[in-house]
Amino acid sequence: MTDPRLNTLRNWLKALQARWQLDLDSLEPASADASFRRYFRIASKNPNFGTLIVMDAPPQYESLDAFIKVDLLLAAAGLNVPKILEENIPEGFLLLSDLGTKTYLAELNIETADPLYQDATHALVQMQLASKPDVLPNYDEALLQRELDLFPEWYLNKHLNIQLTNLQKAQLTQSFALILENNLAQAKVYVHRDYHSRNLMVTAINNPGVIDFQDAVYGPITYDASSLWRDAYIAWPEDKVIDWVIKFWEEGRKVGLPMPSDFGQFYRDFEWMGLQRHLKVLGIFARLFHRDGKDGYLKDMPLVLDYAIATANRYIELKPLARILESTRPSKA
């Protein structure tokens, strides 16, 4: 198959070859994400950069504006994000510094978890401390609701072919209203929106490297914490999660972040925010499969469903939601 964008990309890199001492023959895929974006790695003889990353974001599908804006915002807050070295906005290409190949997901284990999450906590607090209103899009009720609606539309209806009864529809609507009420009552900060083990890179200096932040918004203070410790790709015992969330809460309060004085309230907020995210993620994973032909996320659905069921079962007002979720579990033969 021909790849016209790859030819366009090679031509752009050829024009940059001398300035960045690029080895054009070394260009190779680095990763792709759930959007239309993809990434390449290229070797360089530049003394400051052994390798560089090239982002390919087709302009008709993916704007570079948000990535550039948030990159500069997070860099100013002291986070380790890719440096933007070259821009080609009309064609949708960026040349970036390389944060390496070691993801948190690959490096996390029982020995490394505490220090790696300590670094991730510190970076998250730094980002939240830099927060100002009216800089990033608001994570408002309309957006939170649209995300929740992905659950019945794509997970229940499209993926499982489940049609809810009128009673179940009313219960789902009521559960969504309760979840949103909690989410919207939380203090607002900058929210990465995908702050988890696949988007944090283990780096020797200023760990972690932070990527995939272009969808950042201004919203609930527990959102990124729930992404991090109720991660769709790796699970931990509940006592470990509570311990890490306590450390985040303590560090945040120490530097003046607007967190509740009662940890019980903060943990409840963390759980309810995580539930909103997991319902959304079930819908997104189903949509990626049915609409976009990407089946790599199907294997992660059971863990996300387990998180959602466990949380809903812990709160009496969410029991009807727990029953709906439990009805979607595959029956064991």
Contact by Cβ (8 Å): 110, 237? no
* pLDDT tens digits along 161-184: 999 999 999 999 999 999 999 999
Taken in order 242, 248, 253, 254, is the CA torsion positive or negative? positive
Is the pLDDT at 73 greater than 70? The verdict is: yes
Question: What's residue 330's pLDDT?
Answer: 80
* pLDDT tens digits along 250-290: 999 999 999 999 999 999 999 999 999 999 999 999 999 99
Tokens of 148: 């929740």
Question: What's residue 332's pLDDT?
Answer: 57
* pLDDT tens digits along 205-219: 999 999 999 999 999
Collapsed DSSP state (helix, strand, coil) of residue 72 = helix
Domain at 104-326, CATH from 3.40.190.10, 3.40.50.300, 3.90.1200.10, 1.10.287.3510: 3.90.1200.10
Is the pLDDT at 233 greater than 80? The verdict is: yes
Is the pLDDT at 21 greater than 90? The verdict is: yes
Domain at 4-97, CATH from 3.30.200.20, 3.90.420.10, 3.40.50.300, 2.40.50.100: 3.30.200.20
Mean pLDDT of 132-148: 98
Per-residue pLDDT band at 1 (split at 50, 70, 90): very low
Question: What's residue 62's pLDDT?
Answer: 87
Question: What's residue 3's pLDDT?
Answer: 82
Which region holds residue 303: left if phi is over 0, alpha if psi is between -120 and 50, else beta? Answer: alpha
Residues in contact with 201: Cβ distance below 8 Å, sequence separation at least 6, in sequence order: 99, 100, 101, 102, 103, 104, 208, 209, 210, 211
- Tell how far CA 256 is from the center of its chain: 25
- Strand duo 22-32 + 217-220: pairing: unpaired
Distance CA 146, CA 166 (A): 20
Place of tokens 């390389």: 98
Distance CA 18, CA 45 (A): 10
At 42, the amino acid letter reads I
Domain positions in the chain are: 4-97, 104-326
Is the pLDDT at 55 greater than 80? The verdict is: yes
